Chains A and B, each alone.
Chain A
Amino acid sequence: KQEVTQIPAALSVPEGENLVLNCSFTDSAIYNLQWFRQDPGKGLTSLLLIQSSQREQTSGRLNASLDKSSGRSTLYIAASQPGDSATYLCAVRGTGGGNKLTFGTGTQLKVEL
């Protein structure tokens, strides 16, 4: 059974700092990996999706990497801003039927002025 772990559970950084969020998964037979952002009391917003054949994806100040063989992904946020404060979730889609995602428990990020 796939298990997804995100470390750290919470992170506080000063504005302007570059930071890395980590995600690890136990079963490397994945179809893709997706990073989401969740603001308090709200739904999830998809940030980046990396296919199993890809190594990384970039969107603006965000860069996500994937090392499928080692079961790891990182989300790099450049020049962090207070508006980046949120919980970041990673989710993997297995190669089985359907489009089921297994989620990590998230990293709660706070960017301070």
Chain B
Amino acid sequence: DVKVTQSSRYLVKRTGEKVFLECVQDMDHENMFWYRQDPGLGLRLIYFSYDVKMKEKGDIPEGYSVSREKKERFSLILESASTNQTSMYLCASSFPPGPREQYFGPGTRLTVT
């Protein structure tokens, strides 16, 4: 069974803080993704990574950066958290392009006050 875990289920941070969200998968997947989910807007892709040290911007990368130093771990970084980054953050992983499903973690509910 594929397992994708996220470091925190709930997180409360102050405006201006640096925030790290961690995601780990145990199936040796090359691809990893960070999404945010907001009511009425659905899931939107922030960043994704094809391999270690490789990253590409998704649809809404502004205000975020990522790090992938090891294949199993993909980190999302908010350099200076703002209230409009309050959201549910979901991590996913999959094998390379092909008839492959994306597997999702449980999500991190981040509140920035």
Taking beta carbons and an 8 Å cutoff, which residues of A are in contact with B? 4, 31-32, 34, 36, 41-46, 49, 51, 89, 91, 97-101, 103-106
A51 lies within 8 A of B99 (CB): yes
Instruction: Tell me the minimal C-beta distance from A86 to chain B in angstroms.
Output: 14
Q: Quick one: which of A89, A98, A106 contacts B50, CB cutoff 8 A?
A: A98
Residue contact B104 to A43, C-beta cutoff 8 Å? yes
What are the residues of chain B within 8 A of A99 when measuring CB–CB? 31, 33, 48, 94, 96-97, 100, 102
A42 to B58, CA, bound (A): 22
CB distance from B109 to the nearest CB of A (A): 7
A98–B48 touching, CB < 8 Å: yes
Inter-subunit contact B45/A100 (CB<8 Å): yes
B107 touches A43 (CB 8 A): yes
Distance from B4 Cβ to chain A, minimum over Cβ atoms (Å): 8
Whether the Cβ atoms of A34 and B43 lie closer than 8 Å is no
Q: Report yes or no: A43 in contact with B90, Cβ–Cβ below 8 A.
A: yes
Which of A31, A32, A41, A89 is B43 in contact with, Cβ under 8 Å? Answer: A89
**CB under 8 Å from chain A, chain B span 93-113:** 94, 96-97, 99-107, 109
